[in-house]
Structure 1
Amino acid sequence: MADYSLGYGGIGSGLDINGMVQQLVAADRKPADSSLNRLETGAKFKLSALGTVSSAFSTLETTLKALKAADAFDARTVKSSVDTVLAATVGKSTSAGGSTPTGAYSIEVLALASANKWVADAPVAADARFGAGKLTLTVAGEDLSIDIAADSTLADVRSAINAAARSKGVQASVLTSNDGQFLSLSSDKSGAANTISLSFAEGGSDLQALVGSMKQRTPAQDARISIDGLTITASGNTITEAVPGLSLELKTLGTSTVTVTGDPASNRKVVKEFVDAYNAAIDAINASTKYDAENKTPSALTGDAQMRSAAGQLRNLMGNLLGDLAKQGLDAKTLGIQTKGFPASDGTLVFDSAKFDAAMVANPEKIRAAFTGKDGFADKLQTAVGSYLGSDGAFTERSNSLNAQIKDVATRRAALDARMEAVGNRYKRQFVAMETMLSKMTSTSQALAQQLAGLAQ
């Protein structure tokens, strides 16, 4: 609050000059201040309500994007009849954009993939030393030359092999038993193509004897399965290429039946999320525009033309889209989606999950074609919803306009502050003049009184 005191108070008049100036300024300010407050409060009230509606529309758009995706109804469940033989999992869709084919697959695991492993069968004493020489390690058909330094221990030979071959997926190690030390070679990669072998190139008989003692303990072998009589091989025990989208983790030899079916819960979920989001958008508009007749209180956007237009557009489009579905044989009784009827009709949807599940079993491809893809149910509705969102959306432009109003109010309030300060200073100058005049009058009065008192004597 500005200080409009004169520094010496109302000495001449005895009045509370500061208080009087403040009251005068407040009276002058009140009409403009009230107008600005109404503008700011109204804009913020509308902005808050618009934000709620925009958020609901944004959620609806997200669900529509999921609903129109090519893989929206591709969810599958899979079960292996004998889990100890193999485990089966299935993705939502294949890389080609199609769902994993449903049906039962008879699978026999004929062989498991294994990685090549070699272990020497002749022990080496812990203090044994090898003369200088060369070894050749062949990894998947590639020869690697390994230099062995003079006076090397078995651990040194192991280290020389690892230095040359570790990056190729081969690891050498020294195993110790009651009989002594043994050299071991193993590959990290399974499959017949990833064979390894160690051969002697040059050096002494001790090094040659070490290499000659190496025996294959585990062969490099491909996995091999039969699916409905067709043979498939793979370098590993996880097979993903046999059936689109189906992954098979092989565990042991044997037979199992893998059954792939549509996943009703996931397919229902994508539609239910859309219905819930659509209803939330309609509810947000209704809440922001309702009028409380009992208390005669409007909402933030009661009577708002943009809200009426948005609600009308959604309802009309939804009516047309549901009509199009009905023409395709997917009416409310079949599909389980319809608008809420009398007496509680408010533009929202009603979803019957049991009917929808039955429709998905009876006509999965018809439902996929109706809802997904370009110009499908979800795409048309998303186009309408999207026109209100984004940088150029109608709601965004409205929000920008309301924010601009709030900013303008702040600018006008700052100007009002400056103007009222000038008014206060003007009142202050007037009171200063009044005090000066009263002071002179008081002095004159006192002088006259003294003169009159002198005459009376």
Structure 2
Amino acid sequence: MTSTSATSATGSIISALGAGSGIDMAKLASDLAAAQYATRIDRLTAKSEKLEAQISAASEIRSMMLSLATSLGDRVRVGDLSAQPSLDNAAVASAALSGTSRPSGTFSLEVEQLARGQMLASGSFATRDAAVGAGTITVRFGTVATGSFAEDMSKPGVDIAIAPGATLEETAQAITASGAGLTAYVSDTVDGARLVIKGADGAASGFVLDVAEDPADAGLSALAWQPGSATGTLLQEAQDARVKIDGLSRTSPSNTLTDAIPGVVLKLSDTNAGAPTTVRFADAGGAITGAMQDLTAALNEIAGVLNEATNPLGGDLSRDSGARALRQAFSALAGRVVMPGAADGEPRTLSDLGLKITRFGTFELDPERLAETLKRDPDGVAAMFTNGVTGVYATFDSLSRSVSAVGRPGSLAGSLSRYNAELARLGEDQAELAEDQEETRARLASRFAVSDSRIVGYQSTLGFLENQIAAWNADKG
């Protein structure tokens, strides 16, 4: 077949050589160079277009698989397929899933006390801009209780340097910025300005203040504090949270408890001593039918694109190993075991959830099969929709990861990497060919310019001779 570029270039050459019309040497050089390289340019262009189509098809399928796995994961973790916790008394705490396990059943929760941090106030100063003296404040950590201090030797003390002339306000800023985990501010009370220091939650986060003051700028010792000292006021002792879960007591240095109830994060906000509340979990069973309908529709959408791309008669990915591997995985999806640890009689495959594959490579949902499985073993079905290492989500997440694994030559991502590398090489070849064509055009143009100059000279001589002959003939007449 004669290429479009070659045909166009040949036609231009014939036009440039039009009888009696003169020759456009620059255009002739350009058309000859184009004709010489047209076949190779067309071949590279065709390869480039094919690669771009393959990249587009592979990218679309990979993106669709990632979108399916992501949306399914979101529904399992925090959406309608998750067993979201709730409390009968929502004022006591908020609850969310931790993701470590799938909780079920009910739990009683009694919050006897909340965790809190130590709060200490200094003696009064005239104003917040009053100088406090210079030296070093050393913060030591431990448990402050019943007028005593038990230092936690695993926590190193923190030294805070107070410069000469520092004010109470500047001292508060230095304490906050020290990295000791304390926050400090100045409170303008009716008795004067007082430095307030607050520690982290938990009984072991209590603290004392030792002071080594600068004799040349005395006064900082007024901020020293030990249990029972007269230089400050203990506004609040540090304490752990104390709760009862199903009647069993436990403590926590924080008001956030992770997996105290398996699979749940509790954030305590109030106490309910003597009046336990119930933590219960939403039943995701009602959402599973809708989720399977959505999954079937999504699989059909992907299968449609995949089947078209791998069609032996003109499919962009008909010879792509990654696309063929995914199509083969799709053909085995219905019977794939997604719960390898399931006991005999428990649901273990997607076909148990009603998923079927047709002879056309598309999917159908058998609602009766799904309803029968849900009725027979609702807990087993619910267990298939978790974010663990097995189950429906894990299956599609694994499939999506295998499709996106760049390091695997047989994956779609591996194919994409190869196609992009080939396209880059083609781009270099096209650029090199364009340079060669331009060099050829320039060389021909230079030669034709010489020829054109000679032709002009010949035409000038011919015109002179014709004029002479005409003059001679006139004289004879």
1:5-64, Cα deviation, whole Å (9 max, x unpaired): xxxxxxxxx954344x46755764565465355335423432331121121233255358
Q: CA deviation at 1:82?
A: 0.3
Any stretches of 5+ residues in structure 2 without a counterpart?
1-18, 143-149, 152-156, 339-344
Q: Corresponding residue for 1:320?
A: 332
**2:390 is matched with which residue?**
369
The answer to whether residue 8 in structure 2 is matched with residue 17 in structure 1 is no
Whole-Å Cα distance in 1 between the matches of residues 401 and 329 of structure 2? 11
Distance 1:310 1:302, change over 3 A: farther
SS at structure 1 position matched to 2:251: strand
The answer for the alignment partner of 1:55 in structure 2 is 59
Q: Go from structure 1 to structure 2 and tell me whether the alpha carbon gap of 1:188 and 1:321 turns closer, same or farther (over 3 Å shift).
A: same
Q: Which residue of 2 aligns with 1:193?
A: 204
- Using the TM superposition, name which of 433-442 and 74-83 deviates more: 433-442
Residues 195-245 of structure 1 deviation map (CA, whole Å, 9 limit, x = unaligned): 4568999999xx89x944856543333221100011011223222252344
Partner of 1:113: 115
Count, aligned residues: 411
- Residue 352 of structure 2 aligns to a residue whose secondary structure is helix
| Compared CA separation, residues 409 and 215, structure 1 to 2 (3 A) | closer
State the one-letter code of the partner of 2:244.
S
Normalised TM-score (structure 1): 0.65
- The one of 204, 218, 237 equivalent to 2:236 is 218
CA deviation profile, 1:117-143 (whole Å, cap 9, x unmatched) = 4568x98888x99999x9998752459
Q: 2:303, 2:326 → 1: CA distance?
A: 8
CA distance in 2, matches of 1:268, 1:432: 86
Tell me which amino acid in the other structure corresponds to 1:49.
Answer: A
Partners in 2 of 1:26 and 1:130 — Cα distance? 89
C-alpha deviation, 1:115, in angstroms:
2.9
What corresponds to 1:247 in structure 2?
265
**1:5 corresponds to which residue?**
none
- 1:193 and 1:170 map into 2 onto residues whose CA distance is 14
**Distance (whole Å) between structure 2 residues aligned to residue 277 and residue 119 of structure 1:** 62
Does the 8 Å contact 2:300/2:363 carry over to 1?
yes
2:118 alignment partner, SS class: strand
3-state SS, counterpart of residue 82 of structure 1: coil
User: With CA pairs under 8 Å and 6+ residues apart, which has the higher RCO, 1 or 2?
Assistant: 1
- Determine whether 1:235 maps to 2:253: yes
Deviation at 1:66, TM superposition (A): 6.0
**Residue 176 to residue 441, structure 1, CA distance change in 2 (3 Å):** closer
- Does structure 1 residue 440 correspond to structure 2 residue 452? no
Between stretches 110-119 and 278-287, larger displacement belongs to 278-287
Give unpaired runs (5+ residues) of structure 1.
1-13, 292-300
Conservation of the 8 A alpha-carbon contact between 1:240 and 1:246: yes
One-letter amino acid of the structure 1 residue matched with residue 92 of structure 2: V
Q: Is the 8 A contact 1:336 1:353 kept in 2?
A: yes
Amino acid in structure 1 at the alignment position of 2:437:
L
* Cα distance between partner residues in 2 of 1:406 and 1:163: 62
CA contact (8 A) 1:146 1:161 kept: no
> Structure 1 CA distance, aligned partners of 2:412 and 2:324?
17
Query: C-alpha distance in 1, partners of 2:469/2:209?
Result: 135
Query: Residues 258-277 of structure 1: matches in 2 within 5 Å?
Result: 258-261=279-282
Q: Is the 8 A contact 2:169 2:185 kept in 1?
A: no
Instruction: Read off the aligned partner of 2:46 and give its amino acid letter.
Output: G
- Structure-2 separation of matches of 1:439 and 1:189: 104
* 2:88 alignment partner, one of 76, 81, 95: 81
1:440 alignment partner, SS class: helix
Quick check: 2:62–2:403 contact (8 Å CA) kept in 1? Answer: no
Contact 1:199 1:211 in 2 (8 A): no
How does 1:297-316 map onto structure 2 within 5 Å? 302=314, 306-307=318-319, 312-316=324-328
Assess, with a 3 A threshold, how the Cα gap between structure 1 residues 409 and 289 changes in structure 2: closer, same or farther.
Answer: farther
Aligned-residue offset at 1:319:
2.0
Contact 1:110 1:226 in 2 (8 A): yes
CA distance in 2, matches of 1:413, 1:427: 21
Amino acid across the alignment from 1:86:
A
Secondary structure, aligned partner of 1:334: helix
Q: CA deviation at 1:422?
A: 4.1
| Distance verdict in 2 for CA 1:431–1:269, change over 3 Å | farther
Offset of residue 249 of structure 1: 2.0
Q: Computing the radius of gyration over CA atoms, which structure comes out larger, 1 or 2?
A: 1
> How many angstroms apart in 2 are the aligned matches of 1:276 and 1:29?
55
With over 3 angstroms needed to count, the CA separation of the structure-2 counterparts of 1:319 and 1:129, relative to structure 1, is closer
Q: Percent identity?
A: 21
3-state SS of paired residue (1:50): helix
Q: Secondary structure at the match of 1:322?
A: coil
Evaluate the alpha carbon distance shift between residue 228 and residue 408 of structure 1 in structure 2; reply closer, same or farther with a 3 A threshold.
Answer: same
Distance 1:353 1:425, change over 3 A: farther
Please list, as runs of the form range in 1=range in 2, the aligned pairs for 1:151-166 lying within 5 A after superposition: none
Deviations 1:317-338 (A, max 9, x none): 3223423449985566632433
